[in-house]
Structure formats: C-alpha cells, structure tokens
Amino acid sequence: MELFNKRNERFWEETLDTSIDDLLKYFLGRVLREKIKYDNFKVISLQTSDSPLSETINHYSMDDLDEELLFVVNRTYTVFETQFEGVEYLFTSLKYYKHPDEYPDDYLRRRHFIQGIIKVQIKEAKGRKIGNVNALIDFLNKEVISNSFFNKQLLKYNYNWMGLIGSFAYMKPHPTNIENIFLPNLIKRQISRFVDSLLNYNEIGVSLRYLFNGEPGTGKTQLINAILNEINGKVTTFVVSETDFPVKKIFELAEMFKPCLLILDDLDLILQERDSSSLIEKCNLSTFLQYLDGLLPKSVFLLATTNDKTLVDKAASRPGRFDLIIDVGEIKPQNYFDLINRETNDNDILEFFTESVLSNLADKKITGAFLVNLIKQFKNIKLTSGKISSDEMKEYLDFSFRGFYKTNIPQTASGFGFGVKSNEKLVLNKND
C-alpha cells in the first residue's frame, strides 16, 4: 500500500486520513530531531498554530522538540520546511473535521471523523535546482512506515486527545509460552499454525482470524500472551480493549503494516448487538462487519476474545467472518498438579495439595486462574507471617472460593447468535 499518491512535478495536495497525516508529521518531527538521519533528506524547521489565520505562530528547531513531539505535530496547522536532494520543500498540514450530520457531538467528531489536508510544494527561489515532488513522494512512501515507531512493535490503544497516533503506547506481554498452558493438543496446534502463518506471511500470503471463547479465568489471556511472546519484535501488533474505538481508522492503520496483528479483547463489549441504543456502537458493528466481509486486507491477522460467544452479534460471529471459534474450557483436573508445580516449589504448599484436596477442587470446577491466584495468596501469607499451616490454607481456600464463585444475586444474560434468546435469564442458584 502506498500512503501517498503521485501528483504533478511541482505541487502535491492530498486529503489524508488522520492516521496517515499523523504518521507523516511524526516522521518529519523525528527527522527534525535527528532521530532519523539521511544524506539526501532533512527537516530544517517546524511552525505550528491552532489555525492558518492565527496570529500566534510557534517556531521549533531540533533542540526544541523532545517528549513534546506528539503534542506539537498534533496541532491544527503545521508547516515543515524540508530539503530533499538539494531542493527545499514546504509541507503544510491542516486538520479539519469531516463528519455526517448525525454526529454533531464534538467528542464523536474528534474520535471518529477527523481528517487532514496535506500540501507539499517546492519552495520558490531563483537559481536553485528544479525539484520533483514525485521523487519525494517515492521516498516518503518507503520511509514513513518503515521508520515509524509502530513498525514491529506491540502497542495498546487507549484514546487520548492527541489523536490516533498519540493514543497508542508500548506494552510488554506477560512472559509465557504455549507449552505452559494446559490445553488440548488440538488447540495448541491451531495456535502454532496461527503463529507460523503470521511469522511467514511473506511466503504463505494468507491471514487468519480466530475468536477465543471462554469464561473468565480459563486461559484466553494466557493464549494471547503466548502468541505475543512468539511474535514480539517481529510483527506490528495493536491491542484494543476499549468499548468505543474508531474501527475504520484502526483497520486502515493496520493495513499499512504487512503483516499486522490486531487483537480485540472482550469483543462482546466492543461490538454490541445491532439493536443497541448507542449510535456509535451501531456504527462500529456495521464497519466491523464490512471489514470481515472483504474490506479487511489479507495482511491483517485478527485475534478476538469473548467471555460468552452468545453475546457477540450473530452477524459478526458466523462462519466465514472468523476462520475458527475456539472454546477455551476449564483446566482438566489431571493438570492441576502440573500447574501447581509450575507456580511454586515450596514444599509446605505442595504438600497441602493431597489427592483429597485435588478431588475437592475438581468437584468445585475451579479455573486455572483461580488456582494460580490461590497459590499466589498462599505464598504471600507465608512471606508476611513467616509460615502457613495446612489448616490455614484450607480455611483460605474455602474463603477464596466463596468470594469468587458463590452468589445469591440473579444474573441476566442477553444472547445473540448462538441459540440463546435475548429474554432468557441465567440464574445462579445460591446453593450451587
């Protein structure tokens, strides 16, 4: 994908999505700071203001820009003075809001419909070398993406007012690998296939879309972390867990990187059912379905999670829109002790888990997350008190189980698409 289209030889004007506009300006800012250096290209200066008509103009040189770079380039009006192949060019960027009439709210405009106009022209000066804007465009198409801070990084989306680019932050996956996760071998093979397809995309050329379904604590997050540890530093990855995010802009940004992994956590919350009263939720669902139906570039891989696939709109979860829906179940009782040994080597704690205790845990149908947390608390009690007895561990196990699993509050679930009717109620008996 080329970010910028060719124009005539002396002038270039293009309306850009804000993600591309911000990537370009961030790249120019980094060149100005000399974080990136070229023999044939440099940025001489930067001017910004809140409007082309503003009387207040801010001037920046290399020494002025440090951690403020994202803030500076996100101003409404920016002008970069650059030099390419000995010819000076002016980059002028103006942001504006383009939105349908049904989105009058300024908050929604900012989050979903902001665009930018970029103008590049040769700085006129007598006796200077004649430039070629198209040659500059070729250079930018190659360098802007490969030198962006997104390239081959793991980033989490968390909206802030500095625009799409400023809403991403670096993150590190929790250390784990697929062999440490207690799952059927068939599921492990599908995960390995996903990772192989992603890492070898340039040879295979086929992307995959998986939806992980399972109750909290069954290992979905561990699965995601295992995949992230395999690809970290090798593939550009975006993690999205906000319920209100600009679907179109995120997918367009992902398309710029080949390949790119997009992770949508808690899909049932992000994409509510189509009869939702929220206008923006309807917009998100419609746009998401369009991408799954063919707009999604083949270079974009997708991982999504849900605590209950019955809560995901049936149109989003039907066959063809995801390659696999993988049910991640509770840990098998025969794997309890392997998990315990993985979490601790403390003999006092290990000796507590007799066959009788393990059988009791199996009857309670605990999750792996519950067991991991239980051992964590045992170790903490021993560290703070200096010791922990078998009776104390038994008492804490029962106390913890009541807190996480016992309830006398009726729960209601509305389901869509997997055979659960929207008016059915899921009631947890207080004696369960």
The pLDDT tens digits along the chain (432 residues) read 566 776 555 666 767 666 677 788 888 888 988 888 999 999 988 888 876 666 555 665 555 555 556 566 667 788 889 999 888 888 888 876 555 444 444 544 444 445 566 777 776 544 455 567 788 888 888 888 888 878 899 999 887 766 677 788 888 888 888 877 877 888 889 999 999 999 999 999 889 999 998 888 788 888 899 999 999 999 999 998 876 677 777 888 888 888 999 998 887 776 654 444 443 444 556 677 777 766 666 789 999 888 877 766 555 556 667 888 888 877 788 888 888 998 899 999 999 999 999 998 888 888 888 898 999 999 999 999 988 999 999 999 999 988 887 654 444 433 323 333 333 333 333 333
The structure tokens listed for 57 are 């103009």
Q: Sort strands 154-157 and 168-170 into parallel, antiparallel or unpaired.
A: antiparallel
Strands in 109-175 per DSSP E: 114-122, 154-157, 168-170
CA distance from start to end of the chain = 56
Q: What is the DSSP letter of 120?
A: E
Q: Is 269 exposed, middle or buried (0-12, 13-18, 19+ CB in 10 A)?
A: middle
Strands in 72-126 per DSSP E: 77-84, 87-97, 114-122
CA atoms of 71 and 73, how far apart (whole Å): 6
CA atoms of 301 and 319, how far apart (whole Å): 16
CA atoms of 41 and 37, how far apart (whole Å): 8
The residues pairing with 16 across neighbouring beta strands, listed in sequence order, are 116
Residue 419 is predicted with a pLDDT of 34
Residue 301 is predicted with a pLDDT of 95
Phi and psi for 69 in degrees, rounded to 5? Answer: -55, -50
The CA–CA distances, whole Å, from 297 to 208, 231, 292 equal: 11, 20, 9
Cis peptide before 259 (omega within 30 of 0): yes
**DSSP conformation letters of 29-48:** HHHHTTSS--SSEEEEEEEE
Query: Residue 280's closest CA among 165, 162, 159?
Result: 159
The reported pTM is 0.68
Residue 58 is predicted with a pLDDT of 65
- Cα torsion 230, 235, 236, 242 to 10°: value is -30
Residue 395 is predicted with a pLDDT of 92
